[in-house]
Chains A and B, each alone.
Chain A
Amino acid sequence: MTSDRSKAGARRRPQRHLPLQVLVGFLVVYFLVPFWWVIVNSSKDAPGLFGGGNTLWFAERIDYFGNLEQLFTYDNGIYGRWILNSTLYALAGGVGATVLAVMAGYGFAKYRFAARRFSFSLVLGALMVPATALVIPTFMMFSEFGLTNTIWAVILPSLLNPFGVYLMHVYARDAVPDEILDAARADGAGEIRTFLQVAFPLMRPAVVTVLLLSAVASWNNYFLPLAMLSDNRLFPVTVGLGLWQGIASANNAGSTSLWSLIIMGALVSVIPLVIAFFTLQRHWRGGLSVGGLR
């Protein structure tokens, strides 16, 4: 379905409007300026940063490797730990949320079971509950069970992804014909096998989208880990850099080296997701249009 549409788009005659392209060009510069600033300034040492040189161009001394080495050795390599923690939270939260969403979306779309309409409207209602409103109550609940300040405090709440269920429901409803499922059942395949071998491959574009969206949401999460974790060795990179930034701003003069660590840290922390987005482009773009469908 989606592929027909993108083919239709490609068939349109290419048109070039120079003024519009120039306008887009200006906007691209705007969207890239912060990246450029970080790329340039992560090459500078403290004198380069504070020496009053051009802030949008390289200083005389370009020292990426020195800064990288500092970043990964500072405080016994705590930054590397943060990156690993973020990766763990994003993978566990992303994969877990996706598995649950795919199963639930398929179940809602393909089975008529008791209380189905009621439970689905609960899921739709949950789309409108702001995630952060749950953080303090969840913290209170977890502290009763001694779960705060553990990795589970960050991973478990990430498993809840009602939007993923909604996306998978829409996609399974439209992209998995009942006839194929019935044919598989008639051939003697059980329900689980029908789901895994027949339905799942058809749902793959939406699965990749949901996986990417939930992994990004976990990777980007700040409020939840900030509230849940007090041991800085469990921090994800967002909370860690926020901590450094707070320290660096609090004693501006004494921590010039921390600033260059933060800049380098910001650069390193965005690289994995940028790579993931570029390499997985083909997969997520098809799935993103699902949410906007009627």
Chain B
Amino acid sequence: MIEKSAPRTQEKTHKIRGKVRLREHLMGWLFVGPFGIVFLALLIAPLAYALYLSLFQKKLIGGTSFVFLDNYVKAFTDPSFLSGSWFVIRFSLVSIPLQIIVALALALILDAVTSMFTRFSRLMIFLPYAIPTVIGAVMWGFLYSKSFGPLSDIFGLLGTAPPDFLGSNLIFYGLVNVVTWQWAGYYMIILYAALQGIDPALYEAARMDGAGKWQVALRIKIPLIAPALLLILVFSLIGTLQFFNEPQILRSLAAGTIGPDFTPNMYAYQQAFALANFNYGSAISFALGGIVFVGVYAFLFFTRKRRSFL
């Protein structure tokens, strides 16, 4: 099926096919139109509006004035925005590889070892995906907390002070843990589904050629699920750069540790809703969206896998 329809979508549309019927144009737009309206009204329009707003500044004296790119100059020299951006970049570099390694290892194990127990495990590991990130953060906040968490009990037995994952030294790892717990299972399911799609005859052929289990995993399975790996890499990158929910929730438990400018998104929220500074908030949102878009696009371009995924 794939071979049959792929050339049609990619090549034939270039050429003008005999007579393109008006009816087909109309029907096509009839199906795509409703989504198109939502797309224009709720994606293009807000982006354009944000861009417009971000070019103005509101002052107590003199009202709103056009300042062109001043808000962006301000953002990119604003220590709060820069330190927040640096945090989400560092956080991506640690948490994304960790999530993907955990997910990949689990998917490979659950694909190779089939038993009642692994089937049960697959569901249990996926379970956190069904939990809203806010609730996940609330749960881990309890586990980290000194008053309700088990950490003080466990470390009390060992006679040492419990680690404080809500303190400034460990909050980074505290959040890495929450995010890994939340998403590793979802990524595992996507990779597992991709692994299940591989033709087992390939493994037989590799075994005939003398490949061991590790070689099958490294040389056959992982390369064949590369598109799925790329997909989750892109998703986790987009998700992590707009980090908001977990630090916002844990903030109330870790007041001194997580400031209102902890991530760029939290900073934009603070500027817009706590300080009613909507022009600057829009500029930060737009700058963040732009960075994510360009970053992901560049990443896809350089991995040269763009075609295979999208």
Q: Which residue numbers of A lie inside 8 Å of B, CB to CB?
A: 1, 5-6, 8-9, 11-12, 14-17, 20-21, 23-25, 27-28, 30-35, 37-38, 41, 49-50, 54-56, 99-101, 103-104, 106-109, 111-114, 116-117, 119, 122-141, 156-157, 159-160, 162, 165-166, 173-175, 177-178, 191, 195, 216, 219-220, 222-223, 226-227, 237-239, 241-242, 245-246, 249-250, 259, 262-263, 266, 269-270, 273-274, 276-278, 281, 285, 288-289, 291-294
B286 engages A133 (CB within 8 Å): yes
Known A25-B117, A119-B36, A245-B141; judge A55-B130 contact (CB<8 A).
no
B113 engages A20 (CB within 8 Å): yes
A16, A56, A128, A137: which contacts B47 (Cβ < 8 A)? A137
Q: Does B308 contact A (CB under 8 A)?
A: yes
In the complex, A219→B238 CA distance in Å?
20
| CB neighbours of A6 from chain B (8 A) | 196
Question: Nearest Cβ distance between residue B277 and chain A, in whole angstroms?
Answer: 11
Having A134-B47, A269-B135, A289-B190, one finds 5 other A-B pairs with CB under 8 Å, namely A11-B200, A32-B124, A34-B181, A285-B189, A291-B231
Q: Does B242 contact A (CB under 8 A)?
A: yes
5 inter-chain pairs at a CB distance below 8 angstroms, sorted by A residue, are A103-B34, A134-B289, A136-B272, A173-B9, A174-B5
Question: Could you give, for residues 275-305 of chain B, a 1 whenever the CB lies within 8 Å of some chain A CB and a 0 otherwise?
Answer: 0001001100110110011001100000000
Q: Which residue numbers of B lie inside 8 Å of A, CB to CB?
A: 1-2, 4-5, 8-9, 12-13, 17, 20, 24-32, 34-36, 38-39, 42-43, 45-47, 49-50, 53, 102, 106, 109-115, 117-118, 120-121, 123-136, 138-143, 147-150, 153, 181, 185, 189-191, 193-194, 196-197, 199-200, 225, 227-228, 231, 234, 238, 241-242, 244-245, 248-249, 252-253, 255, 265, 268-269, 272-273, 278, 281-282, 285-286, 288-289, 292-293, 296-297, 308, 310
In the complex, A255→B113 CA distance in Å?
49
Known A107-B31, A140-B278, A175-B1; judge A133-B38 contact (CB<8 A).
no
| CB neighbours of A259 from chain B (8 A) | 148
A266 engages B117 (CB within 8 Å): no
| CB neighbours of B29 from chain A (8 A) | 107, 113-114
A137 engages B132 (CB within 8 Å): no
Question: Nearest Cβ distance between residue B57 and chain A, in whole angstroms?
Answer: 15
B35, B112, B225, B252: which contacts A103 (Cβ < 8 A)? B35
In the complex, A278→B102 CA distance in Å?
23
A56, A141, A178: which contacts B45 (Cβ < 8 A)? A141
| CB neighbours of B197 from chain A (8 A) | 5, 289, 292-293
| CB neighbours of A226 from chain B (8 A) | 269
Question: Nearest Cβ distance between residue A237 and chain B, in whole angstroms?
Answer: 8
B138 engages A262 (CB within 8 Å): yes
| CB neighbours of B252 from chain A (8 A) | 245-246, 249-250
Known A112-B17, A238-B134; judge A55-B1 contact (CB<8 A).
no
B36 engages A104 (CB within 8 Å): yes
Smallest CB-CB separation from A256: which chain B residue? B147
| CB neighbours of A31 from chain B (8 A) | 124-125, 127-128, 181, 185
B31 engages A277 (CB within 8 Å): no
Smallest CB-CB separation from A5: which chain B residue? B197
| CB neighbours of B25 from chain A (8 A) | 111, 113-114
* Among A32, A128, A156, A222: residue with most chain B CB under 10 A: A128
In the complex, A289→B30 CA distance in Å?
29
| CB neighbours of B286 from chain A (8 A) | 133, 137
Smallest CB-CB separation from A236: which chain B residue? B132
B181 engages A30 (CB within 8 Å): yes
A34 engages B225 (CB within 8 Å): no
Known A28-B121, A31-B127, A241-B138; judge A159-B38 contact (CB<8 A).
yes
B308 engages A27 (CB within 8 Å): no
B46, B285, B289, B293: which contacts A141 (Cβ < 8 A)? B46
* Among A38, A54, A289: residue with most chain B CB under 10 A: A289
In the complex, A215→B129 CA distance in Å?
13
| CB neighbours of B12 from chain A (8 A) | 112
A292 engages B231 (CB within 8 Å): yes
In the complex, A37→B181 CA distance in Å?
15
B269 engages A34 (CB within 8 Å): no
| CB neighbours of B27 from chain A (8 A) | 107, 111, 113, 191
| CB neighbours of B42 from chain A (8 A) | 134, 138, 156-157, 159-160
Smallest CB-CB separation from B193: which chain A residue? A289
Smallest CB-CB separation from B272: which chain A residue? A136
B121, B126, B133, B149: which contacts A24 (Cβ < 8 A)? B121
B227 engages A293 (CB within 8 Å): yes
